[in-house]
Structure 1
Amino acid sequence: MRPIAKRLVGVGATVALIAGIGGVALTSAHAETGGPEGFAAQNGGTTGGADGQTVSASTGTEIHAALCDRASSDTPIVIEVEGTINHGNTSKVSGDSCNTADDKIELKEISNVTLVGVGDGALFDELGIHLRDSSNIIIQNVHVRNVKKSGSPTSNGGDAIGMESNVRNVWVDHATLEASGGESAGYDGLFDLKNNTQYVTLSYSILRNSGRGGLIGSSNSDTTNGFTTFHHNRYENIDSRTPLLRAGTAHSYNNHYVGLTKSGINSRVDAEIQVDHNYFQDSRDVLGTFYTDHLGYWEVNDNIYDNVTWSSDDSDNHPAGPNPTSTTSVDIPYEFELDEANCVPDIVAGTAGANTGLQVSNGSCAPQDSSPEPTTDPTVPPNGDNLSIGAGSDGSTKASGTSFRNVRDGDMDTYWSPTSSTGRISIKWDTDTTVTTINIRETPNTEGTIESWQVVNHDNGDILAVGTGAGPINVPATTLTKINFVITTSNGTPQIAEFETFSE
């Protein structure tokens, strides 16, 4: 397939290329840049709250209030969420432009909305996100965990993200959806589409630790769903349903499936799915028709099956393996760009999930010659006065014996460490300050510990830069009162001696 021309949507969209992680060429996109690939780009496209007002929310009630305060139910809006959203801070809000409920984030009977996590992240804890009778919705950079259908507390029928009843054009991107067990522990699906839900893309997301990954169609009679794309996602430690399809058309490409214990893609009731360049690993029955004799169909192209076991064909189980071949030809109406299957694990590990910098693959298994130079060059120190001296500092956590203030004291013998391999350290000022360069200096005995990172404008959640390794980092000239350096991966416990900031 030839490359796709990316379309920028949203307010203040910026795109920056970086050298990749683990030899993989990646692209970093600010919230709402690029737009979706796949079926969410069909049927008129999915732009969410582009060109609408941007509001901030730190509670579920504030999310509902933002929806209800609009002039109408289709007035575009971008809701930037930071903090933990749970039952204790989520209440029903009434208004002419909304229809909300206490026990879930309710995107009901609305359109033209973007819900995006910013800053230190958006965690929906035991609280699901529900879409009903809605269209043109973007959900991006959110973490949803432990949503229950039984036990306490319950929310959204046990679905992390659930869509039902005449839903159209939804893009869920860079999400982390997880449970802590299966149906017997009170959980249901992580990503369910029911009752006439169409034109949906799930991309660059992690689905893990659940009995059920998700479904398209709630029963054999629920056959009006479909046109769904799954790409660059990681399904990990899932019993089944990655997804379960009842009728409709779907497309799965460049996903990494690992630890599927019972079955994987389950195409039933005349469903059709095209399965391209995926990597299936340490799993069982990753593709076929299971638990029914009402067959579905698949087209397979250049997938890798690494330590996959297959059951025997019988009256209720029809696995595609051990040597999967196509049983139909699927008509995919859009152009798409495929990474080679053998590099999918690395690409997905470096891009998928919430709070990973909204990085995406550029379709190449190695950095391309046209990629810009890396944003760090430890051989060229920044010029000018270090603005961190005399400023303030804070962070996410601090290990025993370390201090936030150590990163701004000009002393390489003192340092800050998080309590784990990841964390945030910030420099802050009492007045607006313009920053063009930062310099992250590790202690000499821990140089090379920091792997991947983000630089974030704490004031509005904008991601200013992403990359790998410590050292000088150029950012767009930005006026702010607080700047975050967020360590997203490392090979040990980082020790940052100095977080220097400059304005050139």
Structure 2
Amino acid sequence: MRRAAAVRLSAASATLALAATAGVVLSMPQVAAAAGNATGYASQNGGTTGGAGGQTVRATTGTAIHAALCGRASSSTPITIQVEGTINHGNTSKVSGDSCNTADGVIELKQISNVTIVGVGGGAVFDQVGIHIREAGNIIIQNVTVRNVKKSGSPTSNGGDAIGMESGVRNVWVDHTTLEASGGEDDGFDGLFDMKNDTRYVTLSYSVLRNSGRGGLVGSSESDLSNGFITYHHNLYENIESRTPLLRGGTAHIYNSHFKNISKSGINSRAGAKARVDNNYFEDSKDVLGTFYTDQAGSWQVNGNIFDNVTWSEPGDDNRPAGPNPQSNTSVGIPYSYSLDRADCVPDVVSRTAGAGKGLRVSDGN
């Protein structure tokens, strides 16, 4: 990414003064919002461009991120926030302004649009601080690590979700991130990547999700069916108990991802959800696809997947595994173009490209 010459914030307003003391440096609005273009469903519904064309800010604290949002001319003024360093509870405070709605102890992207948050330099780590997207649109999050966000114990943030979206969210692209916990619900953690209450047109790409009881969900309950059009591609799910993801209603496209050590259940399509599952590699796991823990079934279309040392439980009223020989029981049309890597190449491709700090590398098809 090109960087424009940096200029220090003036003290013309209290918000900008706060930003200056909190570790923000502004650059002229000449850099692109993020490397590459949004893929999958995030490319639909008008596309996802984040802060492209707006000012670029460098932030080293959570308070600085909030100050940058609050210092915009309006809640929709495009902005790219380049983050470097460790964001934690000690440096993440609420900032007030007409163009923001922030809170302590969480990166709050609420009632705003046209924002990119991208890790730069030595890397960006959100340590026990989650990212909350609510009533927002056109958001890009790229090249960051979010770890050990708790819903119980101390400190807590974002209901225990690494990245959570809710309430009328549209067009979010999360790319080249590392989302991780250190255990399951009993250890105080919740989901790594959750969407609920009318969240649509989202892509999670080239990311690592690991060491958690719950990978993520679409829909908070069997009655929360207003979400959908989600793409997951070139991701690694490793050492996850379940929800890779859990789908309640809606449509999801899951391709070229590596699932390893999924211990309870994987892609859980239920309550009328439809999942297209293309050229993934499932390894050393259990019940990686089906309808689980409910009598309200979902469906799936499967193409070109590899199941390597995958075990399957017996079917029952609340347990309908797709295996041991998964077959399609629906058809899912995909409105965007995409290229598939061979399933047998997926573990190698994903290991080279997925996660923060990989130089934003993507598959070249070889």
TM-score (norm 1): 0.66
Report the counterpart of residue 106 of structure 1 in structure 2: 108
Alignment deviations for residues 107-147 of structure 1 (CA, whole Å, 9 cap, x no partner) = 00000000000000000000000000000000000000000
Counterpart AA for 2:58:
S
1:31, distance to aligned residue in structure 2 (A): 7.1
Aligned to 1:51: 53
For 1:45 and 1:202, locate their aligned partners in 2 and report how far apart those are by CA, in whole Å: 14
Q: For 1:343, what is the secondary structure of its paired residue?
A: helix
Measure the CA separation in 2 of the matches of 1:34 and 1:236: 26
Report the AA paired with residue 271 of structure 1: A
Cα contact 2:33–2:52 (8 A) shared by 1? no
- Quick one: distance in 1 between partners of 2:80 and 2:105? 22
CA contact (8 A) 1:11 1:51 kept: no
Q: CA deviation at 1:362?
A: 1.6
1:230 corresponds in structure 2 to 232
Please state how far the C-alpha of 1:32 moved relative to its aligned partner: 1.6
5 Å-filtered alignment, 1:379-398, equals none
- From 190, 193, 196, the counterpart of 2:195: 193
| Structure 1 runs not aligned, ≥5 long | 1-9, 14-29, 365-504
Question: Given the alignment of the two structures, is residue 151 of structure 1 paired with residue 153 of structure 2, yes or no?
Answer: yes
Q: Distance in 2 between matches of 1:305 and 1:358?
A: 28
Identify if the C-alpha distance between structure 1 residues 11 and 163 changes in structure 2 by more than 3 Å, giving closer, same or farther.
farther
Q: Deviations over 1:438-493 (max 9, x none)?
A: xxxxxxxxxxxxxxxxxxxxxxxxxxxxxxxxxxxxxxxxxxxxxxxxxxxxxxxx
Distance apart, 1:76 and its partner CA: 0.3
Structure 1 residue 37, shift from structure 2 partner: 1.2
Aligned residue number for residue 388 of structure 1: none
1:317-356 mapped onto 2 (5 Å cutoff): 317-356=319-358
Q: How many residue pairs align between the two structures?
A: 339
1:448-467 aligned within 5 A: none
The offset of 1:33, in angstroms, is 2.6
Tell me, what secondary structure is at the counterpart of 1:348?
Answer: helix
Q: 1:297 to 1:56 in 2, by over 3 A?
A: same
Partner of residue 214, structure 2: 212
CA distance in 1, matches of 2:199, 2:315: 32
Unmatched 5+ stretches in structure 2: 5-31
Q: Which runs of 4+ in 1 moved over 6 A?
A: 10-13
C-alpha displacement of 1:84: 0.2
Q: Report Cα offsets for 1:354-388 as digits up to 9, x if no partner.
A: 01110000222xxxxxxxxxxxxxxxxxxxxxxxx
Q: Is the 8 A contact 1:31 1:140 kept in 2?
A: no
Cα distance between partner residues in 2 of 1:260 and 1:232: 17
* Alignment check: 8 A CA contact 1:105 1:130 kept: yes
1:390 alignment partner in structure 2: none
1 or 2, which has the higher strand percentage?
1
Aligned to 1:362: 364
Q: Shift of the alpha carbon at 1:34? A: 2.2
C-alpha separation in 1, matches of 2:265 and 2:2: 42
Q: Following the alignment from structure 1 to structure 2, what is the Cα–Cα distance between the partners of residues 317 and 335?
A: 34
Deviations 1:72-117 (A, max 9, x none): 0000000000000000000000000000000200000000000000
8 Å CA contact 1:277–1:341 kept in 2: the answer is yes
CA distance in 2, matches of 1:73, 1:36: 22
- Counterpart in 1 of 2:313? 311
1:217-296 aligned within 5 A: 217-296=219-298
- The offset of 1:12, in angstroms, is 6.7
| Match in the other structure for 1:136 | 138
